[in-house]
Amino acid sequence: MAEGTNQTTTIGADTSITGEISFESAAQVYGRVEGKIVGKGELRIGSGATCRAAIDAGRVTVDGTVEGDVVGRDRVELTAKARVTGDVTAPKLVVNEGASFYGHCRVGPDAGKEHAKSVAEAKPAAKGVGAPTA
């Protein structure tokens, strides 16, 4: 395959991952993930997938089950089969009729920026907490 073309990472239906998944362009999850999913591109949580994970990606489409906070830098879409328990933050949210959603919701042009700001503010504080004391 030529270098630079879009590649999609796929987590198959019979796959279970515990830990952090990071991707650049696109990823699809059809199996089980526990931990964290971070990426810049498009993430699809497929039908039948179960994620107990914090999700942070560019465009997130949920067609399966997610337990954890979902952050979409560009957009989050919950299809009619989606089951989400956790907070959703995104500039744009599309919820199709039939989706299940329990959690807090922050949607709008400023939602992603505010989230990024809060994460940036939290990082130095976390360092300070973990820093060794004299």
Partner 1 sequence: MPPETTHRSVQCYHCRRRFEVGVRAVTVSCPGCHKRLVIEDLVIKNAQAYTKLQTCGRVVVQRRGHVMATLVEAHAGIEVLGVLEANAITGGGVRIGPKATWKGDLAARTLRVDAGARIVGGRFAVPDDPLGLARTTPERAGDGAS
Q: Can you give the binding site for partner 1, defined by CB under 8 A?
A: 75, 92-109
Q: Tell me whether residue 55 or residue 95 sits nearer to partner 1 (CB atom).
A: 95
Q: How far is the CB of 38 from partner 1 (least distance, A)?
A: 23
Q: How far is the CB of 107 from partner 1 (least distance, A)?
A: 4
- How far is CA 80 from each of CA 26, 61, 68, 84, 97, rounded to the nearest angstrom? 22, 11, 18, 11, 6
Q: Tell me whether residue 21 or residue 66 sits nearer to partner 1 (CB atom).
A: 66
Cβ–Cβ under 8 Å, residues 74 and 57? no
Q: Tell me whether residue 58 or residue 101 sits nearer to partner 1 (CB atom).
A: 101
Work out the number of other CB atoms within 10 angstroms of the CB of residue 39: 21
